[in-house]
Amino acid sequence: MTRRHPGRHLRLLDVGTSDPVWSEWSARALAAAVRRGPVLVNPMVFAEVSVGFSRMEDLDDARPPDIFRREPLPYVAAFLAGKAFLAYLRRGGSKTLPLPDFFIGAHAAVAHVALLTRDARRFRTYFPTVRLSAPRAEPLVVAPLRP
């Protein structure tokens, strides 16, 4: 995520894990981001995506570094993530450590890049300056009726 490539950071977890509800939307959004240029990935995003792969080499093959550019988390983003986490706690949040989304949102905020996410509410709450790309509505999940 750098100023040289605005709008390229996104969350890849749904695609890597073949999420039955979100993978189709995520795959389309990811393909659109790749067409616009390099997709920037920080260590938290990389960790989230890694759960869908048993070896790092497989992840590298599926998400090649020349297309999915890896960047470290700047210290100023870590500081902002801590402040967002403090706001979360003051709003009644129950987690005891900052969530990865706080680091991801803070990184997007300090780098002035867009963020592709399906959790727009959290990012809008704690990082209101970040430009988001998110689904317009939750997908409809139909469950069979139980007798």
pLDDT along the chain (147 residues), means of 10: 36 57 81 84 89 90 87 97 97 93 94 86 93 70 45
pLDDT at position 5 is 38
pLDDT at position 17 is 55
Closest CA to 131 of 50, 35, 33: 33
pLDDT at position 124 is 93
pLDDT at position 11 is 42
**Domains recognised in the chain with CATH numbers:** 9-133 (3.40.50.1010)
pLDDT at position 103 is 95
Report the alpha-carbon distance of residue 67 to residue 37 in Å, rounded.
8
Q: In what order do the strands lie in the sheet with 132-133?
A: 68-70, 39-41, 9-10, 115-116, 132-133
pLDDT at position 81 is 97
